[in-house]
Structure formats: structure tokens, C-alpha cells
Structure 1
Amino acid sequence: MLKTVRYRPWTCKDCLQRVKSRRTLATAAVSPNHVDYAAASKFTKQRDDDTLRRVFDSRPFWREFSQRRANTSKRSGLVQNQYLTSPEGFRQFAHTSLQKCQRIVSKVLAVSTLEGYRSMAKDMDRLSDLLCRVIDLSDFVRCNHPDPRIQEAATQAYALMFEYMNILNTTTGLHDQLKTAAGTPEVASYWSEAEMTVAQILIKDFSNSAIHMPPKDRQRFVNLSNDISQLGSDFVNRAEPAKSHVALRKNSAQGLDPVVVRQLQKWNSISIPTLGVEPKLALRSMHDESARKELYLATRTSSKRQIHRLEELLSKRAELAQLSGYSTYGHMALSDKMAKTPEAVSNFLTSLIDSNRSHVQDELFKLQAMKQAPPLQPWDHAYYVQQRLTEYSMSRRSRELSRVPEFFSLGTVMQGLSRLFDRLYGLQLVPQETLPGETWNSDVRRLDVVDESGQHIAVIYCDLFTRPNKSPNPAHFTLRCAREISANEIAESAAMDPPSHPNDGMATAMNAGSNTLRQLPTIALVCDFPEPPVSGNGPPTLLNEHSVRTLFHEMGHAIHSVLGQTPLQSISGTRCATDFAELPSVLMENFATAPEVLSLYARHWQTDQPLSENMIRSMEADRSAHGNIYGAVENEAQILMALVDQAYHSSANGPINSTDIYHKVFSAHCALPDPQEHSPGHLRTSWQGFFGHLYGYGATYYSYIFDRAIANKIWQDVFRAGALSVDRDAGERYKNEVLRWGGGRSGWSCVAGVLGSNNPSNADGRLAEGGEEAMREVGRWGLGRDGVSN
């Protein structure tokens, strides 16, 4: 569909007036508030580095820093968008963008000349950008802004543009014109690789909207799509077990925390819910195996209503795929992914099972030795893992490890990210004061990304602290994608009454070495960390190791957006294949706790002493121990879920017995016994009813572990191949072969390029071709056992 990812740029009315006065395009990128990063000295770089730590660690410093422009008469729209100074501005923003869209649509529909067809890929990309700049930003604001009036205004803008986008996706003339352009040799040979890629993506999106179907089939397609959407929402939001509670005798719960027992006690028995945290605690701690068994089976048995929802969802997806000309929904969903086919995904997953099997057997052997007899069962795993973890924690130097967060203040971690990016890519994160109205909350920090030449290349808004009603889920949002802005767009914006900015006031810059204005990526990072103290006394926000890895993960997405600045926004940054999108973020997790990277930033919040080598070794030993206790079995669980997902979406249209398929997969591949034979009254377990990702990731659940396998390979063969993981040559190689392409290059070409032709896994260039053998090869690389359960 026409919807894509986006970013943003800025200039002021004075700049636009210069355009009207026929000054050069370079002049239009300058504003009275422009920061001349090119003039930065070594002292300035050090000052920015120190400031970066203090704006996140010291609330008094942040108040002073953020108030520097608070009394200025100049106000900014939200995230610099010139329209968004009030709720009414969202309506104006949407309607102005809509009018620009309509002009482009009229132009494309009227094209009949070779010149017109040659400009069509760029025209359609701009149309997509206009839709995205409203939809993406409005969607973010309605979910994250604390003001209900702003939320409602953003929701209305979102709905208006989303409705128009759906109309365009069924406008046959756009589809036909684009196909004509792509099929004309004089046009295709004229287009750049990026233009051809965008044209192919948009043609595929039109096809996914059933635009090529006769009216009767198209209506059936729409009806099925609506049914799938409703069923999927119900499946995710109405998951329910067959039994809401399990009643046990009180003495059967020995080992469970007495506080929890008192909360659940009813006379001489306890009633444990089958959803939530309580059953997890019970399965880890209750000594009575029969009690664990009863609870385990109940927690993995869904209600009949929920299973019916799932099977109806799967059936309608299969019908939709066949209506669209695909043999199965899996073939439809994977056609534009790296995997291409369900068979290729199965090759990857079964190969991964094999590479993981010896580690699984090693873990289970040690747990079996603890249980002795009878054989280890599925309901035993969490219990004996917890016992091993307890034994380990009693033997390790827990006092030393408990002090680790003291070396990970939020400010030092942000400082570390900036220093890492400087060494790998020549980039720096520079704190920047915001104008009144620019952010949605006073605790949001703005960082400008600056390269070695002093060029401003991106804006990142960091919303990292907890507040009431804020989602606890960490996330990366691309509010506007990078792309080149044409001279015609600048002239069009200057001619508006009143004059407008070609990027709605959001960040822009000149392309280095050219006279071309470009739209800079604008990004929001959202986390839910505790706030530093208001007074400035006491410790700042301190992060545990998991939170550090989370922040590095989200910044991995951001750096993909920052460096993937393609000429067209439809392939910019994270706009790439679903099974390639997590690679940069997963790879970044490896840097978080690498000793060479820790030496860049891990400092005690109070004494500024570095994290000692002894503590770094203790952290490594701790991760390794936890991975050796349960890492491989958790990997297997993820693989099994991906196999179930593939099996469900590889079925042709017809009745689907999801429970049969689920148990068939587990019986064939799970190292622990399948619990179905132990279910009372032959009522088999049906855990698939709780697998909510079956809706959002239908046929693509393998993507995360696929990217983990690739990330581990790149980490070992590229970044760990030399003496240091922060080697600039490795960073440049990764940037040039992977990050800078966004979605404009095949993921397989990116992987083959960064590993290089001398890598044994890439012999004869086999990876660049992709296909089933390449997927099997990635499976052989394995997942490792560090950093599981992210």
C-alpha cells in the first residue's frame, strides 16, 4: 500500500522568502535558529559529551538547559511541525497534505508522455510520503501525547488520511499507470535502482489490496480482510483458559512464597489463577510434582471459544491467499520477505533445531540429574531451572553484581552510545534546546545527530522516563523518513498562501557536496525508566543490565533510520523486509556489554570510577551461567513457536485442527515430552490459543530469531574478528554494506556484502542469491545462548 515510513526536516518563513526571491536552493536550508555544527571544535565536542550525560542524569541541570529558550517569543509546532501549534493545527496539517496528494494523483492519472512516466516513481514516492507524514506522526501523537484534546485531534487527522489512503489503494488508474511506466523499457532503463525498487514495492502493495481482481472478487477480498481484522483483534484481546483457576490443597503449595499463599488461600486450599504472574511463580517453586503438573496443564489449555477464533482466522487467511492467487497464506505473506517461501523458512528452522539440540540436551541432562527419577517432564523445567539459579546465586559474589547498576546511569549510557557511534561511524549525539511547544512532555530530550564534518543529519526525541498512563513498552518510532526534496516542491511550498516549508518546518539539510535539499529523519525513542530525583540529590536513573540492552536495542533501530538515508522515503531506514528489520537492533545488543564498549562509558554515578575488569568478568560469567542453565531450551521454545506459525499458515483452504497441528510439531521437535499424553480425560492441551503473535506476525514469527542468527554471525565475523569490537573499519563496512541501504537493497546482498567473499559461509557468493540453501545456512549459524528472553 502507499503507506510507508517517514522522517522530517525544518526551515523558517524567512528561508522560504529567500526561495521566492530566487536565491539558490542552498539558502533555503538555513534558518535563524540554525546550529553551525561545522564550526565545532574539540572543546565543543567534549562539552557536548559532558552535557549529554548531565541532561539525562541531573534534573536541575536539565531544567536550566531546557529553559534557555523558554522565554523566547518564538514558538515551535510539535516536533518542529509548523502546523502543530494547537489541536486545530492537526486538521490544517491533514487538509493541506491531502490537497497536495490530490494534485499528485491528478498529475499521475493524466500522464501520457515519456517524461511524465519517467518521473512517476518519484511522484508516487512523494505521494506516499505525504500520506505517511500525517499518518505516522498522528498515530504516534494520539498514543503518546498526554493532552486528550491533542490526542483527539491527532486521531481525526489519522482517520482522514488513512481513509484517503485506502481509497488510493483501490484506485485502478494509479496501479495501471505505474505498471505501464515500469513495463516501458525507455522508462525502466532511465530509472535509478532506488526508483525501480520503489515502483516494484508499490505495485506489490496495490496487488495486496486486490486492485487487479474483478469487482465481485475484490468485494470478497475486502470482506475477508475485515473479518480477519476483527477475528485477530478478538483473538489477541480475549484470550482465555479453559479453567480460570486451579484449586490445590494448601500443603501441595509448599515452596511457594508464603505471602502469595496467603493472598490465594481459601480455607485449607489455595486457588491459583491460570493467567498472570501467580502460576509462573508457582511452577518455579512448588515442590509437589503432581500440583505442578495440574497447574501446568491448565495454564496451557485454552477455552473452546478461543480455539474456534483462531481456526476461523486461519481458515479465512487461507481463503484470502487463494483468492489472491497464492497456494497458502504463508506463500502470500513471505513473497516479499528474505525467506520468500514457507519451505525456505522450514529449512532455516529445522537447521536451527539441529544446531541447538546438543545445547538443549546438555541443559536437560543437568536438570535430570537434579530430579534423578522419573524422567524430566515439561512441568519440571521451570522448577529445576529455578533451583539451579538459586544454587548459582548463592555461590557467586552477588554483592559485587548488585552494584553494577551504579555504573549505568542513564546519562552515562547515552554518553556511551554517542561515543560508540563516533568510533564506528563518525557520528555524535548532541543535546539541543527545544523551543516552547516542540515536545509533547517537558521531560522529552532532543538530540541532534551530527557527523564528523559537522553536518546535521537527524533528530532524535528521547522520551525515556516513566509517567502516569504512559505505555511501559520500549519502542522506536520513525516520525518522518529521509528523502531528497525536489526544487519543484520548494517552489510549490513557497507559492502557497501563506508560504509553507517544504518539509512542514521539520529538520532539513543540504546533501553534502550538492545543491540538493533533503528531509532529515526524525525519530522518537520511548522507554519507561524511573525519573532522576527532582532535587538533584541522590542517585540519578540507574539501569540494570537488561534495561541497558533494551536501550541499545532501540537505538539500533534509530541508527538504521539515521544512516539509511536513501533518495526516496519508501525505502528509507527501517522500511525494509520484515525479516531484516530487527538485524541492526539485535546486533546493537552485543555492543551494550562488550568489554571494549563498557570501557567507553560505564562510570560510577558518584565517583566517576570506571567499571572494574573484575566486575566486567563477573557480568560475563553471570550471563554465561544463566545462558547455560536455560538459554538453549528457551531458544528451542522460540523455534517451536515459529514452526507452529509456519504449519498453521501453510495449510490450504479448508477445516484446520490447530490442536492436532500444534501437538504434531511439538512431538516431532521438542526435546521434552509432549504433554498431550498426560492430559486428564484425553483433553489435550491447546497452548496455541495464548499465542497472540499468530495474528500480528502471521507466517513471519521466525523473523526475530532469523535476525538473531545473522546478527550473531556479523558480530563474530566482522566486529569480533579484530582485536576490538569498536573498530572503525568494521563500522564503515557494516554501514556501507547494510545500514545505508535502508530497504533499497536485498537483505541477502547486504548480508553477503558485510561478511565478504572470503567468509566460508559465503563461498561462491551463495548468500547473495538467497533461497532455501541460504536459509538453511543461516540456521547452521545458530543463536548462541547469551541474551535470551529479550
Structure 2
Amino acid sequence: MLRPLRRPWTCHKCLQLQFRAFESAASSAPRTPFEYVPANNSAPQKKSDDETLRRVFDSQPFWRDFSQRTATAPKRAGLVQNQYLTSPDGFRAFASVSLQKCQAVVAKVLQASTLEEYRAMARNLDRLSDLLCRVIDLSDFIRTIHPDPQLQEAATQAYALMFEYMNVLNTTTGLHDQLNTAMANPEVTSHWTEGEMIVAQILIKDFSNSAIHMPPAERQRFVNLSNDVSQIGSDFMNGAEPARSQVVFSANNLQGMDPLVVRQIKRWNNKAPVPTMGIIPRLALRSVRDEAVRKEVYLATRTSSTRQIHRLERLLMKRAELAQLSGYSSFANMALSDKMAKTPEAVSNFLTSLVSSNQGPVREELLQLQQMKGSSSLQPWDHAYYVHKRVMEYSQSRRSRQLSAIPEFFSLGTVIQGLSRLFDRLYGVRLVPQETSLGETWHPDVRRLDVVDESEQHIAVVYCDLFTRPSKHPNPAHFTLRCSREISAEEIAECASMNQSAHPNDGMATAMDPHTKTLRQLPTIALVCDFQEPRADGTDRPTLLSEHSVRTLFHEMGHAVHSILGQTPLQSISGTRCATDFAELPSVLMESFATAPEVLALYARHWKTDEPLSHEMMCSMALDRTAHGSIYGAVENEAQILMALVDQAYHSIPANALANGIDTTDIYHRVFSRHSSLPDPDDVRPRTSWQGFFGHLYGYGATYYSYIFDRAIANKLWQDVFQSGNAAVDRAAGERYKNEVLRWGGGRNGWQCVAGVLGNDNPSNADGRLVEGGDEAMREVGRWGLGRDGVSG
């Protein structure tokens, strides 16, 4: 029904106690419905809304005035307007009511016997998934973001209860059997929409992943193996450690390194122990002149402890055994079966093709570094050192005062304003600041933006939590708190019969679709970043962003616009709920828009004078990016390709070939010796074992290729759809991309989306080679390459 990222441990007895508390809390559910009022966005206000959008992020005095207009409201709204979440006890009521609705849907599915009841099954199961996600997604977000410990605990309890119930459903054989019965009947499936068929297939896959189709003994073994994988994987991800904690040198041998750092680590006998984890060894590799020192630091920082390597090898063996039990020849075959790639062979085709397309730029970069070093051959421990030298030389000779002034044109408010203007140009939607009700947000700094279309229809809500604060997680992220979905008339009637004040979307954003005349729950999104707040010292200086931060914000808003425009009738395939090797495409593509001259012209203005960013400064920015890309971009790309190749090599080994164990170090060096442009030293014993530091092998097992795969596609779409003919702000290009990619969410095969947006006349899609995917399509994407910016994120 759902594939959550993590599972908290909670004993069954505690869950029973929690459930009793939830049942009692349900009787005190809120009696007053809160109407979700979108911003008043009549056409004459468009210019005013645009200016307000900038000021709510850039001016603290303006924001205080804007946000306090409703502070004296007589009644308290729930978090994100959820009518239950006005207090910690509300989480218990929310989960209890949702659980009751889930049980009613389950009973309906289990009792289905007529043709009409089976035809309704895909939508009923999608609704069941939605009811689970309503609690799990929102509770998981609130428990990590809210500053109130009581609310955190209540949200955690709601999360744990619904997660446990979800696991029960995923092993309920009756649901699996009923869905199989429906799918086996042509009189049922012929009445399903394409989206309903996709949802049914997703749910069957989820059931399969829970071993529901296996006999009891095998199912128990599956559960045990899954638990082993989870525990060992967690230990591996958190247990990265080098074989040696430090390497000791004479302080005199660290010449070139920052003297303050050397003084910090130096001991009384002039010895300077360099730790093998953290920032100091990276500084040493960038700056120490003595090659022998760099070599020793490099080797030590890339050699894992024996204990960590043992964890990895146990993880791989357990995964292969799990795949074999599930009927797959390898874990990669199992993990890729519902992805665009489909098979490990196809991923290998993509990656080896990408190696070839990246080889020319890599040779250019390494040749320049080799010329800097001189006669002796360039080694892996030389790369960071000579790259740093080149960057410093470039900085001294080419960087100008203009570049240092760039952030003055990127106040947070102007960037958000630019995003709204870009979306208006491309897709006919814009962002409008909206006052929040008392209790609606989890922190006073959170801004709410309503998304409206050209007919002034309210289509989504975005909560922006963009400023730093103590204990807040610093990583930028996009969260879908509520997916888009059609709400049936039956649900509305059912809700009214349960409680007169109940809302069919729990009080959260809804709108009537003007075309289908159906009620929709609107996507509700949270964007989280960690920018400094605007100054409140009387200078009115706003938050100023570096170019990197601008690209980060565009990236996260790329996920958001996928959620906003991917409004499907079924929540299981709405927005970003698509194949994981397709999910990053909209966000990666958005990074290219951030600094395109046509887009910069929409928004980049000096925070104080309102002077636009000059053409000369845009050229300086572009020259700077090109220079840095030519220094290290291709080698950075190659490093990511190599890691993806290692990931595939590990997870493609058949289970029966692992009977005598696995030597991950040998495999790692075989991949690097074959594909790395820098030499892989084979005269060092013991050989390095960097794979022990590759924590993503657990979370992204067999799918680490996904990000660079989407980068290659995004690079192609940018060049052929948006950059061609300066179409970065062209409505026709935006509509083409929206209609072929964004609006489908996960309701269309990713290959069809890519082929559709490129068009039949594109040489890369000759003879329709992309539509069906497969080995040749994967090779073709590899030929497109990754550009020269280096992998971000």
C-alpha cells in the first residue's frame, strides 16, 4: 500500500495501549470545520501579489505585519489546516478516525462479489492507500520538523500505529486474492482507466514485496531476511570507519596546508596526526605539497575497517538470498523490475555508454592537470591538489568584483518571485502569498503560498520553511504532505454521516474541478531549506543567496511543480509518485532554468536599488561555471558513474554464485581498473576498500544510477526543448513539457514521457526507439551525456 523510508520499532503491547488512547481521543474530535480559504487572486491583484511575494520573504517588518493580521483570530486552526491537529491529542483522533475509514474500505474490498464491486476495487484500494498516507506522511514530517516535544511524540505515536496497520494490510491474503481476482477478469479490467490498471499493478508489486504469495514457512523466512537486511544495512550506513584512525607525519611535511590547521593538530614533538575522517584529510589532499604525504592520506582515507567490509558483504549476501526466495536471479533484477531500466543489463548499457560519452572531456581535464604536474604520471592522490591549484589560479586571474556582488541580485524574495514568474510564463500557474490561520504552521517563520492557475482556480498549497533555526535539519528537501486525488460523492456522503462537522479532506485544501465537476483534494507541499533569516537590524538587508543556493531552491521547487501539475485522479500515481529513476527529472531540469539568461531577466534584481542583473554579469556567471566545469566537472561525473557501476556489480551477482562468499574489494578494483581514467594503484597492499564508505549502497541498492540517469535526460530536454531557440521562458515549450511529462505523475511510463516531449522528429527518438525503453534506449540516454557542470547534490 505504501513504501515508507523507515520503520520505528514499537512493541505490540504499546501499540494496543496507544490504540485505546486513540479511541478515547476520537470522541473529542474537533466539532468546528475550518474552511480552507485560498488567496483572493482576481486579475487586477496580480501585480500586487507579485510584489507582496517578494516582500514576505525579504522584509521582516513587512512579514510581521502580514503574518499577524490573523493572530487575534478567535479559533485555532489545525496544522496545515487539518481540522484534527489543533493539539497533541488531535493526532490520536486523526489516526483513529482514519483507521476506522481504512477498516470500512478493507471490509468493502474483502466482501466484493459483483462485477461492479470488482470494477471499483482499484479506486477503493487507492483510497485505502491515501488514508494511510494521510496520517503516515504528515505525522512523519511533523515529528521531525515541529519544535514542540509533545507534538513530536503525538505525531510519532500516530505514525507508529498507522505504519503497523499498514504492515498488517500488506500481509492480508484476502486483499491480495481479491485484487488478483479482479485483474484476472477482462470484464473488470476493460472498464479500468490506464491509471487504475497502473495502480493495481503497483499494489500487486507491493503485496509481492511483502511475500504475501508465499507459503507460511517461506513467508517467515522472507520476513526474517528482510529484518536482517534492515538491521545490517542500518549498521553499515552508520558504521563507516577507516582501518586507521589517523596517519602521523612530521609537521614540516605538511607544507602548503593552512598553518592554523597544522597548529591545531600538531603535538609537542612536532608530530602532526592527520585524522582519516572529516575535513582535515580533505584539506591535506588539496594543499600539501609533498606527494608522498598525499598518497598516504589518500590510501588511509579510502581503506575501510575489516568490520565494515564484513557488514557490507553480509548485506549483499542477504539481499541476494531474499531475491532468490522472491523468484529473481539477483537483487538488482528484483529492485529494477518496476523501474524505467527494468534490468541490470540495461543499467550497465547506460553506464558504459555514459563512460564513453564522458571520456573526451575527462581526457581534456586530466591533460591540463598532467601538464601542471610535469613528467611523472598523474595519480589519484594528485587530483584534488592540482584541481585546487587550478581553481585558485583561475580565481586570482579571472574572478572579478562583479562575481562577488552576484548574491546582491539574489535576495530570497526575488528568487521566489522569479520562480512564480517562470511558472506563469511556462505553465500558466503562479505563487500567491496567503495569510495563515492561528496554529496553521509549525513555526512563525513558515510562509504559505497558494498556487493558482490562469482562471484563478486554486490548485495547490506550498508551505515554505526556508530559514535556519536551532535543531532544524539543514538538508534542503521537498515533502508531499497530501497528494492530489479525486474525492468521490460516496466519500462526501460517508463523511457527513460519520460527523456533521467532518470534512472529506480533513479540512485541508480542496477545490471543485471545473471540467469534471468533481471535488479534488489539492496537493499540499512543504519546502524546507536552511537559509539565514533577513536582518532585523534596521538595514532591511534581506537573505542573499549564492548561485549554488539559487540552484538548490530551483531544484526543490522542481519537485514541487511536479506535485502541483501532476494531479491525477488517483493518489498512488500523483505528482512525484512515479518510478524512482524518473522522479529526479523535473528537479534536475529546473536547475538549468535557474541561471539561464532569459530566466535571470525575469527576476535577478539588486535587493536595494532594484537594478537588474546586467548582461555583462550574466556572461561572467556563465564563464565562471564553464571554467569550473572544465576544471573538474567531467572527472566528478566519472566518479558518480564508477560508483553506480560498483553498485550494479555488487547487486547483480546471482545468489547461487555467493555460496562461497563475496570479495567486495576485488570487485571494486576490477570496476575501477576497467573504467577509471585515473590509475587504480595495484602495487599497494592491502588494497584500498573505499566501498565501506559508500553508505548509499544500502538506501539505493541497485538504483544508484538513477540520479545521473535523470541528469542525462534533463540535459537532453534542456538542449532540445528549452534551450533550442531560446525557449527557456516560452509557453509552447512549457506546455509541451507539462502535457508530456509533468501532468502524468506516475500514471504514464517514463519512456513514453521522454519520447513524447522530444517528439518523433528528434533524431534521438528515430524509429520510436525510446517509447518501449529497453537496452538500446538506455544506451541512447548514455550517449546524451551529463554536461560539464559536475554532479550537484
Alignment of 1:74-89 (within 5 A): 74-89=75-90
Q: Deviations over 1:706-738 (max 9, x none)?
A: 000000000000011223311000000000000
CA distance in 2, matches of 1:148, 1:34: 30
- AA paired with 2:759? G
Q: Which residue pairs with 2:9 in the alignment? A: none
CA distance in 1, matches of 2:101, 2:456: 34
CA distance in 2, matches of 1:49, 1:402: 28
Alignment of 1:97-108 (within 5 A): 97-108=98-109
Q: Deviations over 1:255-291 (max 9, x none)?
A: 0001100111112111111111111111000000000
Which one of 682, 706, 719 corresponds to residue 716 of structure 1? 719
Q: Using a 3 Å threshold, how does the CA distance of structure 1 residues 350 and 35 change in structure 2: closer, same or farther?
A: closer
Q: Deviations over 1:382-431 (max 9, x none)?
A: 00000000110010133211100000000000000000000000111000
Matched, 1:233 2:234: yes
Partner secondary structure for residue 769 of structure 1? coil
CA distance in 2, matches of 1:160, 1:426: 41
Q: CA shift at 1:514, angstroms?
A: 3.0
CA distance in 1, matches of 2:372, 2:534: 44
- More divergent stretch after superposition (716-725 vs 212-221): 716-725
Give unpaired runs (5+ residues) of structure 1.
6-29
Percentage of matched positions with identical amino acids: 75
Partner secondary structure for residue 767 of structure 1? coil
Asked if structure 1 preserves the Cα contact closer than 8 Å seen for 2:634 and 2:790, the reply is no
Asked if structure 2 preserves the Cα contact closer than 8 Å seen for 1:634 and 1:789, the reply is no
Give unpaired runs (5+ residues) of structure 2.
6-32
Q: Which residue pairs with 1:467 in the alignment? A: 469
CA distance in 1, matches of 2:488, 2:216: 38
CA distance in 1, matches of 2:185, 2:400: 69
Q: Which residue pairs with 2:598 in the alignment? A: 596
Higher relative contact order (CA 8 A, sep 6+): 1
Q: Deviations over 1:290-325 (max 9, x none)?
A: 000000000000000000000000000000000000
Q: Which residue pairs with 1:762 in the alignment? A: 765
Partner secondary structure for residue 611 of structure 1? coil
Q: Deviations over 1:47-68 (max 9, x none)?
A: 0000000000011100000011
CA distance in 2, matches of 1:338, 1:769: 10
CA distance in 2, matches of 1:562, 1:210: 34
Q: Which residue pairs with 1:605 in the alignment? A: 607
Alignment of 1:562-641 (within 5 A): 562-641=564-643
Q: Which residue pairs with 1:493 in the alignment? A: 495
Q: Deviations over 1:458-492 (max 9, x none)?
A: 00000000000000100000000000000011011
Matched, 1:156 2:157: yes
Q: Deviations over 1:732-781 (max 9, x none)?
A: 00000000000000000000000000000001111001000000000000
Asked if structure 1 preserves the Cα contact closer than 8 Å seen for 2:465 and 2:528, the reply is yes
Q: Which residue pairs with 2:428 in the alignment? A: 426
Alignment of 1:415-564 (within 5 A): 415-564=417-566
Which one of 362, 367, 376 corresponds to residue 374 of structure 1? 376
CA distance in 1, matches of 2:499, 2:297: 68
Matched, 1:673 2:649: no
- AA paired with 1:745? R
Asked if structure 1 preserves the Cα contact closer than 8 Å seen for 2:362 and 2:634, the reply is yes
Q: CA shift at 1:656, angstroms?
A: 1.2
Q: Which residue pairs with 1:700 in the alignment? A: 703
Matched, 1:690 2:693: yes
CA distance in 1, matches of 2:602, 2:500: 49
Q: Which residue pairs with 2:92 in the alignment? A: 91
Asked if structure 1 preserves the Cα contact closer than 8 Å seen for 2:54 and 2:414, the reply is yes
Matched, 1:775 2:781: no
Q: Deviations over 1:115-165 (max 9, x none)?
A: 100000000000000000000000000111111100000000000000000
Q: How high is the TM-score relative to the length of structure 2? A: 0.95
Which one of 292, 295, 305 corresponds to residue 293 of structure 1? 295
Q: Which residue pairs with 1:785 in the alignment? A: 788
Asked if structure 2 preserves the Cα contact closer than 8 Å seen for 1:310 and 1:689, the reply is yes
Asked if structure 2 preserves the Cα contact closer than 8 Å seen for 1:378 and 1:672, the reply is yes
Q: How many residues end up aligned between the 2 structures? A: 761
Q: Deviations over 1:621-655 (max 9, x none)?
A: 00000000000000000000000000000012211
Q: CA shift at 1:788, angstroms?
A: 3.1
Q: Using a 3 Å threshold, how does the CA distance of structure 1 residues 685 and 344 change in structure 2: closer, same or farther?
A: same
CA distance in 2, matches of 1:69, 1:594: 39
Asked if structure 2 preserves the Cα contact closer than 8 Å seen for 1:484 and 1:567, the reply is yes
CA distance in 1, matches of 2:616, 2:760: 39
Partner secondary structure for residue 702 of structure 2? coil
Q: Which residue pairs with 2:666 in the alignment? A: 660
CA distance in 2, matches of 1:33, 1:683: 64
Matched, 1:264 2:265: yes
Q: Which residue pairs with 1:312 in the alignment? A: 314
Asked if structure 2 preserves the Cα contact closer than 8 Å seen for 1:4 and 1:129, the reply is no
Q: Using a 3 Å threshold, how does the CA distance of structure 1 residues 755 and 649 change in structure 2: closer, same or farther?
A: same
Q: CA shift at 1:70, angstroms?
A: 0.9
CA distance in 2, matches of 1:582, 1:526: 17
CA distance in 1, matches of 2:536, 2:102: 47
Q: CA shift at 1:72, angstroms?
A: 1.1
Q: Deviations over 1:167-190 (max 9, x none)?
A: 000000000100110110000000
Partner secondary structure for residue 495 of structure 1? helix
Asked if structure 1 preserves the Cα contact closer than 8 Å seen for 2:640 and 2:791, the reply is no
Q: Which residue pairs with 1:254 in the alignment? A: 255
Matched, 1:284 2:290: no
Q: Using a 3 Å threshold, how does the CA distance of structure 1 residues 450 and 367 change in structure 2: closer, same or farther?
A: same
Alignment of 1:306-345 (within 5 A): 306-345=308-347
CA distance in 1, matches of 2:35, 2:679: 69
Q: How high is the TM-score relative to the length of structure 1? A: 0.95
Q: Using a 3 Å threshold, how does the CA distance of structure 1 residues 35 and 520 change in structure 2: closer, same or farther?
A: closer
Q: Which residue pairs with 2:745 in the alignment? A: 742
Q: CA shift at 1:33, angstroms?
A: 5.9
CA distance in 2, matches of 1:789, 1:35: 36
Partner secondary structure for residue 768 of structure 1? coil
Q: CA shift at 1:373, angstroms?
A: 2.0
Asked if structure 1 preserves the Cα contact closer than 8 Å seen for 2:38 and 2:450, the reply is no
CA distance in 1, matches of 2:314, 2:36: 57
CA distance in 2, matches of 1:36, 1:559: 19
Matched, 1:388 2:390: yes
CA distance in 2, matches of 1:357, 1:157: 51
Q: CA shift at 1:495, angstroms?
A: 1.1
Asked if structure 2 preserves the Cα contact closer than 8 Å seen for 1:246 and 1:274, the reply is yes
Asked if structure 1 preserves the Cα contact closer than 8 Å seen for 2:39 and 2:433, the reply is no
- AA paired with 2:662? I
Partner secondary structure for residue 340 of structure 1? coil
CA distance in 2, matches of 1:452, 1:224: 52
Asked if structure 1 preserves the Cα contact closer than 8 Å seen for 2:39 and 2:432, the reply is no
CA distance in 2, matches of 1:584, 1:652: 34
- AA paired with 1:659? T
CA distance in 2, matches of 1:344, 1:148: 47
Q: Using a 3 Å threshold, how does the CA distance of structure 1 residues 256 and 507 change in structure 2: closer, same or farther?
A: same
- AA paired with 1:737? E
Q: Deviations over 1:334-360 (max 9, x none)?
A: 000000000000000000000000110
Q: Using a 3 Å threshold, how does the CA distance of structure 1 residues 36 and 632 change in structure 2: closer, same or farther?
A: closer
- AA paired with 2:673? S
Asked if structure 2 preserves the Cα contact closer than 8 Å seen for 1:142 and 1:155, the reply is yes
- AA paired with 1:328? S
Q: CA shift at 1:539, angstroms?
A: 1.6
Q: Which residue pairs with 1:174 in the alignment? A: 175
- AA paired with 1:373? S
Matched, 1:733 2:736: yes
Q: CA shift at 1:238, angstroms?
A: 1.2
- AA paired with 2:443? N
Q: CA shift at 1:108, angstroms?
A: 0.5
Asked if structure 1 preserves the Cα contact closer than 8 Å seen for 2:357 and 2:785, the reply is yes
CA distance in 1, matches of 2:107, 2:635: 57
